[in-house]
Amino acid sequence: MTIRQAHDIFVVRQRGREVAAALGLEEQDQIRIATALSEVARQMLAAVGGAEVSFQAVGRHAPQSLQVDVVSPVPLTQADLTRGDPLPVGRLVDTLSVSHADAVTVVTMSRRLPPSAARLTPERLDALRAELAATSPGSPLDELAAQNQQLIAALDEVRSQRDELARLNAELQETNRGVLALYGQLSEELEETNRGVVALYAELDEKSAQLRGANEAKTRFLANASHELRAPVTAIIGLARLLADASSDPLTAEQLRQVELIRGSATDLLGLVNDLLDLAKAESGRIEPSWEDVDLCAVFGQLRGTLRALASRPQFELVVEEPEPPALIRSDEVLLSRVLRNLLHNGLKFTERGEVRMRARLDDGRWELSVSDTGVGIPPELHERIFEEFYQVPSATPVPGAGTGTGLGLPYARRLVTLLGGSLTVSSEPGRGSTFTVRLPVRGGP
């Protein structure tokens, strides 16, 4: 098509739209490429007074494109093309390029056909060309009317997009308000919970302070009471011994039996008082271990010597295994001996036949000292209870002559082991004996 006057711009725009429609471009794209074309043609007409326009189908296979060349008969500069009111024409098409050759300037623009468009074969192109040739271009007024329609449609679309945007904005604001409200509610709830937790902690602190106070009062009472009791009970034992002494006035057999009963009871009472005093002392934290290097061989040897006399029963043996030297531990010898003696005593007390065996072995940087017996054993559900003050297993009766005990030995032993930085545990089965294990660090102390 040739452009020589302003009227031609309308025609070329209309043709551009018709070609784009025939090739299968969608309506919006038809308007875009027709607008770009008419704008470039208008500028060229203004700059050099004319132009040639040609339409081409490019590409053999999909995606094919519609290419429009606008050729200026004389060379043009970029400034010539953008003079006046430059439109961002490039944005309306897929490609836009300007080339200069053989004293002409060509502005080439193209738009890709949609995948839905029918493929353009030479035959189809011939048919389309014939179809287009058969229609005569309308008047500039017709094109102006069409352009107006397009403008109205475009404006409509812009308005509906703006409305949609406003609606989305309102929705977003609503959502935001919702989120803010939820956030407010959550932080209030969190604050409420926090207040509750703080109050709970305060109450807990108060309760544990009360408990500590009560425990201290109990310990003080035990210490005072047992201390006060010790002197009169010792006096009773002394008096009973004096009464029964052969050098005193002779007693009748019945009197002698009763005095012996008094002495036995008083001796038991003194044992209880002493145990209570020991435990109260351990609990009040007034026992300070004196840390030293202790030779376990010596401790074991001493215990073997002092307890052998208590183990002179038939079908029974006390075995204190010699630890493999050098068996050194940093601990408090007196407290450690007291713990082990206590455990050995219990073993002797609750084992009629078989043996009580004490051994020491190093295990992963700790000394493991165990006292095992073949005695009555302890039901599993009572393994922790026996460490409570005054608790004694009801079914376990000590061997005759071993005394009744106080139920304070194990709690005391566990306290001492804790003071020495270790632990005291039991494993036992009724009828199969018990093993008490003391685990201590090789280097205890501060």
Selection from 382, 372, 431, 440 nearest residue 407 by Cα: 382
Question: What is the nearest approach in angstroms of ligand ADP to the Cβ of residue 365?
Answer: 28
Q: Binding of ligand ADP at residue 233 (CB under 6 A)? A: no
CB of 406 to ligand ADP, least distance (A): 5
Give every CB contact of residue 375 below 8 A, 6+ residues apart in sequence: 347, 350, 351, 352, 354, 356, 433, 434
Helix, strand, or coil here: 382? Answer: helix
Nearest to 370 by CA among 445, 426, 411: 426
Answer whether 314's CB lies under 8 Å from 281's CB.
no
C-alpha count within 13 angstroms, C-beta hemisphere, residue 274: 10
Whether residue 280 contacts residue 215, with contact meaning beta carbons closer than 8 Å, is answered with: no
State in angstroms the smallest separation of the CB of 380 from ligand ADP.
13
- Residue 16 interacting with ligand ADP (CB under 6 A): no
Give the integer Cα–Cα distance in Å for 418 and 71: 103
Minimum Å distance from CB 307 to ligand ADP? 14
Of 65 and 372, which CB lies nearer to ligand ADP in the complex structure? 372
Measured from the CB atom, is 108 or 434 closer to ligand ADP?
A: 434
Cβ closest to ligand ADP, residue 10 vs residue 412: 412
Q: Radius of gyration (Cα) for the chain, nearest Å?
A: 55
410 binds ligand ADP (CB under 6 A): yes
Compare residues 367 and 436 and give the one whose CB is closer to ligand ADP: 436
Q: Which of 274, 392, 425, 437 binds ligand ADP (CB under 6 A)?
A: 392
Shortest Cβ distance from residue 346 to ligand ADP (Å)? 3
Considering the complex, what minimum distance in angstroms separates the CB of residue 252 from ligand ADP?
35
Nearer to ligand ADP, 16 or 433 (CB): 433
The 3-state DSSP class for residue 425 equals strand
367 beta partners? 362, 440
Residue 422 near ligand ADP by CB under 6 A: no
Helix/strand/coil for 5: coil
Q: Which residues, numbered 234-293, are part of the site for ligand ADP (CB under 6 A)?
A: none
Of 16, 289, 323, 405, which lies in the binding site for ligand ADP, with binding defined by CB under 6 A? Answer: 405
Listing DSSP states for 154-202 in one string gives: HHHHHHHHHHHHHHHHHHHHHHHHHHHHHHHHHHHHHHHHHHHHHHHHH
Contact of 444 with 336, CB cutoff 8 Å: no
- Shortest Å, Cβ 187 to ligand ADP: 55
CA dihedral 139, 145, 150, 152 (to 10 degrees): 170
Binding mask 321-360 for ligand ADP (x = CB under 6 A): -------------------------xx--x----------
What is d(CA 19, CA 13) in angstroms, rounded to the nearest whole number? 10
Restricting to residues 361-390, which ones interact with ligand ADP according to CB under 6 A? 373, 375-376, 378, 386
Residue from 48, 229, 396, 399 in contact with ligand ADP (CB under 6 A): 396
- When the beta carbons of 112 and 414 are compared against ligand ADP, the nearer one is 414
State which of positions 102-141 bind ligand ADP (CB under 6 A): none
Which tokens in the block code for residue 212?
């500590």
Q: How far is the CB of 241 from ligand ADP (least distance, A)?
A: 24
**Is there binding between residue 434 and ligand ADP (CB under 6 A)?**
yes
H or E element that contains 354: strand 354-363
Per the DSSP assignment, residues forming a β-bridge with 101 are 104
Interface with ligand ADP (CB under 6 A), residue total 18
d(CA 26, CA 21): 7
Q: How far is the CB of 408 from ligand ADP (least distance, A)?
A: 6
Residue numbers at the binding site for ligand ADP (CB under 6 A): 346-347, 350, 373, 375-376, 378, 386, 392-393, 396, 405-410, 434
